[in-house]
Amino acid sequence: MAEWEPWCSGEVLVGSGAEGDLVALVEPLSFWGGVDDTTGAIIDGHHPQVGIILAGSALLMGATRGSSSSTSTLLECIRRRTAPEVLLFTDTDPILVVAAVVAWELYGRGPTVVLLSASPDVDGVTRVRVDNDGRVSARRNFERERT
Amino acid sequence: MNTPVAPSTELTAGERSMLAGEEGPAVALAMRVLLVAAQAQKAQRLIPITAAHIDGCLYHGPSSLDFVRVLVEGGGRVRVPTTLNVGGLDLNRPDLFIGSSTRRTSATELMDSYVGLGCQPTFTCAPYQLPGRPQRGEDVAWAESNAIVFGNSMIGLRTNRYGDLVDICAAIAGLVPYSGLHIARNRVARSVFTVDPDVRTLDEDLLPALLGHHVSRLTGTLIPVIDGLQDLDITEDWGKAFGAAAASGGGVAMFHVAGATPEAPDLATAIQGLPPLLERRVTHADLMAAHEELTTSALDARLGGVSLGTPHLSRTQLVEIADDLAGRLVQVPTFATTSRSVASSEPDAVARLEASGVTIVRDTCIYGPSKVLDPDGTMMTNSAKWAYYAPSQLGYQVILASRKDCVESAVQGRILVGGGRG
């Protein structure tokens, strides 16, 4: 069995310890128009990762793009429990962070958001775990655990 | 969970008392949200704004109402002049709304709730087409991607890409994090796109849409400057089409057109002596490829309808479409989307369009949650933004074409594409 290993670190902006299967975006994604809030699936036909389910994931991304309604789409995903469990940002972009903080205010739950200090190497990483201090550990080449 | 207070953001005494709840729960909530946004952007402090434009009035689900209700119950009130983006329906034509009565009721309540917070019932994605818009150099909090890119680029406003929820927080607090495009040195062009002369053979209506889409695909988060268009008349409608396309296809929040936009009287001013991180030539073939990417339908398909007005039509554009129609009747459902402000300023054009069978839609936009049509066949549009989103949002097949081709197709009841194919 693959072991947890230290992977990267950053600043926890919202939430606390959490984990999920890694989805590393290869291109920026607009949640509005790009993610179905009823399923958490990427539906933007222009995006190379169309069809991937984000519900329960640990989503690694740089800046967002497109509509400013993405905050509302993510908030609605959180309400419906189709949102990622963890948001790992490599760029300073508040659009999705705001949805997370508002979700905690409204519902007392939501994704954990970490602003990473550097872009990590995603090769082989399948699952990641964040602790309360912003340390992120990873499992590599490990079969997807979520059923 | 208690939202952590950004330790790196310095607050004034007044801001600290707002955070502590001395001006009511809504102000305190707004401050907590703003401080997390500030921390995400590594902002050292907050700065005052002079105006706001709010996107949060478009209904996305029960969570939209959950948030605004907390603000209303907490005594929220905007403290700067605040305009509203499109809502979920045309309040004057609720019959156009396709969806459950529950959703319609919720969408209406959301729009009314934002008005109740002191926002102006403008309901337009093009606040730059309203009288009394803010002026060059003003710090504002604008949401709506096309408005943001237009405000920064064509007016010289200073706004970051504010999203839903933080937009109303900024309006209630009158503050935003000092970061990004509020800082002058971050507004410099770092990519240069030099346009080949032969792109001028493209339809003038399609050129900005295709160019905006193409540039956004390459520039990433770099602010681009477009060079080589010095003898072209860069109108506000040109900038609107370019910006809407660039913001949909990419993350562009600001662009310069050398010799045309307010912060780019020439190329040298736009780049401020910094070496570009990306330099590209733009060819006719590049823009034809962009056209292919934004057209999902075969040209021999059945025409289901025509959509014009994403972003909302300007007064000039309403008149142009009415002139193109010249009193002829449309044979397929044809929609012209604009604001109540623009429509009421052009009653003659509106009357002519309606006499031709065009449905004028105000207050909303005809994609996303506010679906007002259900076409049997391919949709035509001259909007890169609509072409970009309609296939995934609405499941339509789309042809991107010039305004004149869209109008002629609507009149003939079949797809006619000629002028736009250069």
**pLDDT band at B256, cuts 50/70/90?**
very high
Interchain proximity A101–B33, CB inside 8 Å: yes
Q: Is B387 left (phi over 0), alpha (psi -120 to 50) or beta?
A: alpha
Note the maximum CA span of chain B. Answer: 66
In the prediction, which pLDDT does B394 show? 79
Q: Is residue B2 domain-resident?
A: no
Element (H, E) at A74: helix A70-80
In the prediction, which pLDDT does A1 show? 56
What is the predicted ipTM?
0.92
Catalytic positions of A are 67
CATH number for the domain that contains residue B391: 3.30.499.10
CA-based angle A100:B187:B155, to the nearest 5? 95
Regarding whether B19 and B108 lie in a shared domain, the answer is yes
Regarding whether B203 and B121 lie in a shared domain, the answer is no
Interchain proximity A105–B3, CB inside 8 Å: yes
Interchain proximity A28–B144, CB inside 8 Å: no
Regarding whether B244 and B336 lie in a shared domain, the answer is no
In the prediction, which pLDDT does B335 show? 93
- Chain B residues closer than 8 Å to A115 by CB: 39-40
In the prediction, which pLDDT does B393 show? 75
Regarding whether B278 and B315 lie in a shared domain, the answer is no
Per-residue model confidence as pLDDT tens digits over B322-338: 999 999 999 999 999 99
Regarding whether B345 and B394 lie in a shared domain, the answer is yes
Q: Is residue B1 domain-resident?
A: no
Regarding whether B276 and B357 lie in a shared domain, the answer is no
Distance CA B406, CA B409 (A): 5
Regarding whether B300 and B262 lie in a shared domain, the answer is no
Interchain proximity A28–B247, CB inside 8 Å: no
In the prediction, which pLDDT does B367 show? 63
B400-410 mean pLDDT: 97
Q: Is residue B6 domain-resident?
A: no
**pLDDT band at A99, cuts 50/70/90?**
very high
In the prediction, which pLDDT does B371 show? 53
- Tell me how many residue pairs between chain A and chain B have CB atoms under 8 A apart: 150
For chain A, list the strands marked E by DSSP.
5-14, 18-24, 35-36, 41-42, 57-61, 86-89, 112-116, 125-130, 135-140
Q: Is residue B420 domain-resident?
A: no
* Lowest mean pLDDT across A6-20, B91-105, B179-193: B91-105
Q: Which of B227, B355, B202 is nearest to B281 (CA)?
A: B227
Please check the confidence at residue B2 and state whether its pLDDT lies above 90: no
- The CATH number for A5-140, chosen from 3.50.30.10, 3.60.70.12, 3.30.70.1560, 3.60.15.10, is 3.50.30.10
Nearest-by-Cβ selection for A115 from B40, B161, B163: B40
Regarding whether B105 and B68 lie in a shared domain, the answer is yes
- Chain B residues closer than 8 Å to A79 by CB: 61-63, 66
> Which A-chain residues 30-59 have CB contacts (< 8 A) with chain B?
30, 32-34, 37, 43-46
Interchain proximity B250–A34, CB inside 8 Å: no
Regarding whether B279 and B265 lie in a shared domain, the answer is yes
Nearest-by-Cβ selection for A98 from B33, B42, B58: B33
Element (H, E) at A99: helix A94-107
Q: Is residue B97 domain-resident?
A: yes
Map out the domains of chain A as residue ranges: 5-140
What is the residue-averaged pLDDT of chain A?
A: 91
**pLDDT band at B420, cuts 50/70/90?**
very low
Query: Domain residues for B113?
Result: 13-183
In the prediction, which pLDDT does B113 show? 97
- Please state, for a pLDDT cut of 90, what percent of chain B lies above it: 81
**pLDDT band at B251, cuts 50/70/90?**
confident
The last residue of one of the domains, among B247, B262, B292, is B292
Mutate one of A14, A69, A74 to test the B interface: name it (highest B CB count within 10 A): A69
B8-19 mean pLDDT: 94
B124-141 mean pLDDT: 98
Per-residue model confidence as pLDDT tens digits over B144-179: 999 999 999 999 999 999 999 999 999 999 999 999
Per-residue model confidence as pLDDT tens digits over A21-34: 999 999 888 898 89
Number of domains in chain B: 3
Per-residue model confidence as pLDDT tens digits over B16-53: 999 999 999 999 999 999 999 999 999 999 999 999 99
Regarding whether B304 and B157 lie in a shared domain, the answer is no
Regarding whether B301 and B278 lie in a shared domain, the answer is no
Is some CB atom of chain B closer than 8 A to the CB atom of A115? Answer: yes
The last residue of one of the domains, among B265, B292, B319, is B292
- Please state, for a pLDDT cut of 70, what percent of chain B lies above it: 95
In the prediction, which pLDDT does A36 show? 95
B145 to chain A, closest Cα gap in Å: 5
Enumerate residues 6+ apart whose C-beta is below 8 A from A106. B63, B66, B67, B70
What is the residue-averaged pLDDT of chain B?
A: 93
- Chain B residues closer than 8 Å to A35 by CB: none
CB-based contact B406:B380 (threshold 8 Å): yes
Regarding whether B129 and B73 lie in a shared domain, the answer is yes
User: What six digits make up the tokens of B261?
Assistant: 């936009």
B253-276 mean pLDDT: 97
B177-193 mean pLDDT: 97
Q: Is residue B70 domain-resident?
A: yes
B94-107 mean pLDDT: 87
Note the maximum CA span of chain A. Answer: 42
